[in-house]
Amino acid sequence: MKKLFSTLLFCWAALCAQNVAAQYVTIPDANFRNALKVKYPTCFNADSQLDTTCALILTDTLLNVSVKNIANLEGVRYFKNLKELNCYGNLLTSLPPLPDSLKTLICYTNALTSLTTLPSTLTYLHYANNMVDSLPALPAGLEYLNCSNNSMNSLTELPPMLKHLYCSDNSLPSLPAVLPSSLNTLYFPNNLVENLPVLPSQLKILHCANNLLQELQNFPASLSALYCHGNPIYCLPFLPSGMQVISLSNTNITCIPNKPVNMPSSFPICNPINNIAQCMTFPMFSGYVFYDANGNGIKDSSEIGMANIAVKISANNKVFTDANGFYSITVPDTGYFVATVVTPQYFIVQDSAITAHFTAFGQISATDFALTTSNPFRDLSTHLESYQRARPGFMLNFKLTYRNQGTVPTNAVAKFVKPFLYTTAIVSEPNYTVSGDTLIWNLGTLGIGEIKSIVVHGTVSTAAVLGSVLSFQSLLNNNDTLDYNLADNVSTINLTVQGSLDPNDKQARPAISPAQIAAGEYIDYTIRFQNTGTDTAFTVVIADTLESNLQANTLEMLASSHNVRTSVKGNIVYFEHLNILLPDSNVNEKASHGFVSFRIKPQTNLALGATVSNKAAIYFDYNAPVITNTAITKVQNPTGIFDKINKTVSVYPNPVNKGVLYVPNMAGASATLTSLEGKELRNWSAIGESVSLEGIAQGMYLLKVTQKGETRTAKVMVK
């Protein structure tokens, strides 16, 4: 009897232990149950019941049951150690009690009308694309909240540690009166918000587009991106120096108070003329650089503005005059500031530095710089640039720019020399004659400071071989012995024939020698762009960050396809084409291209083997920037003394004014210096890297160099 009792007691204890070890529950939603069975097959019994004591259920930290047609998550509470629950893209109308351990809840794109009580451990909550109209109490440690595209008409008090708030596409009339000081992102486009609270000091991104805002609070210094398009805003507060992105379309804004150095924008800086809403602006110098023909110090209506002249506040804060000689440049505060014009060669400025005392923001100092001259200098120059690269069978267009940078009006004859594999189609100045492969124009008299340009449209022959070089030249009075600097009367482009390519690119001088750097030579750059979109581009802005191997304060403009405002802020150059109306390539391929061309000196301490790398960002209206290729210039010694394309000797500096003329790698070569009439003045038999021109009078001469039986020449100007 005692033995039977012991046996029964043992069986009862075993049964109790089994019941304690396994607690089975039914998961009511079949789709949720099936998803769990797939992931945890050993945690279900034969009746498809979940064992809530299963180790996998108790220890798993991540549960992803997204896009499973689940309507009920009852049973998720048994995941005692769950950290992340991802249940987006289902049919949920409500949530059951959640595990106390949960940190991340992702339940967007369901049919939720409310949320359950949230665990105090939650730090990330994403429930966009639902129908929730109000929030429960939010955990104090919540850092990320996305409630976009719901039915919200109010926001409760936000958690103090919140960093990112996304609540777009609701019906919010306002935001909480106090925003968390930790907030980095505030994203609430497409609501009904009329006023903003004070913005947190750590805010980096503010996206408030398509609301009812009429004004904005002062921005914190940390702000880097602002999207406020689609609001009835008239004015902006001062933009922080670290601002990089701004979107202002479909607002009442006509100007901006300042331009942070890393922020491309098509809007002009506010001044009393364009500041219709009387918005606060930085003080500004504004005016013209012009040739003062009558010497009265006043820009008369008949006097021409001087293009591409630099006006600066400091070495790395300057702008260049536009095609009409106009400039505008802001100063960073009130007080005394000096605007200085960089006086061009041959000219005199009575007051090259003008001081203004700014006592208030919005004040403008109308400051003109009058250029005069005391001596006559004849100096014409030309610059040739292509709109595209050379491709067999494709269009290739050029802009020929001619400028009188001297001090006397000069009759000008221009020439365009092309290879036989290039056929001219349309020329903007049709009154020309043809001699072989040369087009010739009589430009008439170029006045002081006057600039003319000719655009040549043509096509590269289908017979052009990939990798071959096509050479083009622009000539302007290239045989005028009275021209003070004949070196810039010729501009040459050598284009390598290529296949498929990106029309937005940057080109640079491929190589420069240490000796050329020491002589102060420049690196020439060209940035080309094309509107390949589907509509007209109203604004094209190019931002070019100059690397430390370049001297930003030596930048000079050479040419541009369209009127451009050029400014240098620190090591960033901005080329702003405002109201350019650049057609897209589908509508007008020929007119969809543009370019800017400039030059800049490399640092003088660059060693042999160093490289100068540079690229640019091109902004078409408010689209993301197009990043060009990286243009590389190598510091290397030339491979020989002859220019194999142009059949001339490479010499520098030219003009020469210190008596020493350098000719790289001419050891063993002989040379003679003659007048243009052929009279020999100097000769050298076998010399090194330079020749002495001490005692040679000012004028133009011909240097002939003979090496290995081949003679080449160069015109040399002695100052």
Q: What is the pLDDT of residues 405-424, one digit of tens each?
A: 999 999 999 999 999 899 99
- 46 to each of 23, 26, 50, 51, how far by Cα in Å? 14, 12, 10, 11
Identity of residue 339: A
Task: Compute how many other C-beta atoms are within 10 angstroms of the C-beta atom of residue 509.
Answer: 17
- 369 to each of 101, 310, 335, 347, how far by Cα in Å? 72, 11, 21, 12
φ/ψ (deg, to 5) at 183: -65, 125
| pLDDT computed for residue 90 by the predictor | 96
Q: Which two tokens stand for residue 576?
A: 């702003």
> Exposure pattern of 459-495 as b/e (b: 16+ CB <10 Å)?
bbbeebeeeeebebbbbbbbebeebbbbbbbbbebeb
- All structural domains of the chain, each given as residue ranges with its CATH number in brackets, are 145-253 (3.80.10.10), 284-371 (2.60.40.10), 376-494 (2.60.40.290), 502-637 (2.60.40.740), 642-718 (2.60.40)
The mean-pLDDT minimum among 256-265, 376-385, 514-523 falls in 256-265
Point out which residues pair with 507 in neighbouring strands: 526
* Alpha-helix runs per DSSP H in 109-152: none
The mean-pLDDT minimum among 10-24, 28-42, 361-375 falls in 10-24
Q: What is the pLDDT of residues 627-658, one digit of tens each?
A: 999 999 999 987 544 444 344 566 767 777 65
- 390 to each of 143, 344, 386, 500, how far by Cα in Å? 54, 35, 9, 10
Statement: residue 12 has pLDDT above 60: no
Residue 701: which H helix or E strand, with range?
A: strand 699-707
Q: What is the pLDDT of residues 19-61, one digit of tens each?
A: 445 699 999 999 999 999 999 999 999 999 999 999 999 999 9
- Rounded mean pLDDT of 505-510? 89
Statement: residue 678 has pLDDT above 70: no
| pLDDT computed for residue 600 by the predictor | 94
Statement: residue 500 has pLDDT above 70: no
pTM of the predicted protein model: 0.55
Cα separation of 166 and 147, whole Å? Answer: 6
Confidence of residue 708 (pLDDT cuts 50, 70, 90): low
- Rounded mean pLDDT of 289-299? 92
Identity of residue 487: A
* Residues 77 and 58: beta-carbon distance below 8 Å: no
Task: Compute how many other C-beta atoms are within 10 angstroms of the C-beta atom of residue 402.
Answer: 23
Q: Which two tokens stand for residue 29?
A: 């939603």
Q: How wide is the angle at C-alpha 222 spanned by C-alphas 218 and 228, nearest 5°?
A: 55
Q: What is the pLDDT of residues 119-166, one digit of tens each?
A: 999 999 999 999 999 888 999 999 999 999 999 999 988 999 999 999
Long-range CB contacts for residues 44-52, cutoff 8 Å, separation at least 24: 49/24, 49/25, 50/24, 50/25, 50/26, 50/75, 50/78, 51/22, 51/23, 51/24, 52/23, 52/24, 52/25, 52/78
What would the DSSP string read from start to end of 236-258? --PPPTT--EEE-TTSS---BS-
Statement: residue 2 has pLDDT above 50: no
* Residues 179 and 160: beta-carbon distance below 8 Å: no
- Rounded mean pLDDT of 439-467? 92
| pLDDT computed for residue 644 by the predictor | 42
Candidate ranges 172-181, 251-260, 342-351, 570-579; pick with highest mean pLDDT = 172-181
Statement: residue 8 has pLDDT above 50: no
Confidence of residue 688 (pLDDT cuts 50, 70, 90): low
Confidence of residue 7 (pLDDT cuts 50, 70, 90): very low
Point out which residues pair with 329 in neighbouring strands: 285
Residue 56: which H helix or E strand, with range?
A: helix 55-59
Candidate ranges 185-189, 271-275, 479-483, 486-490; pick with highest mean pLDDT = 185-189
Point out which residues pair with 30 in neighbouring strands: none
Statement: residue 665 has pLDDT above 70: no
Statement: residue 433 has pLDDT above 90: yes
> Exposure pattern of 39-74 as b/e (b: 16+ CB <10 Å)?
ebeebbeeeebbbbebeebeebeebebbebebbbbb
Q: Which two tokens stand for residue 229?
A: 């398009």
Q: What average pLDDT is seen over the chain?
A: 87
- Rounded mean pLDDT of 298-319? 88
Cα separation of 549 and 606, whole Å? Answer: 7
Statement: residue 401 has pLDDT above 60: yes
Cα separation of 488 and 107, whole Å? Answer: 68
Candidate ranges 77-81, 248-252, 466-470; pick with highest mean pLDDT = 77-81
- 498 to each of 250, 458, 465, 480, how far by Cα in Å? 42, 16, 8, 36
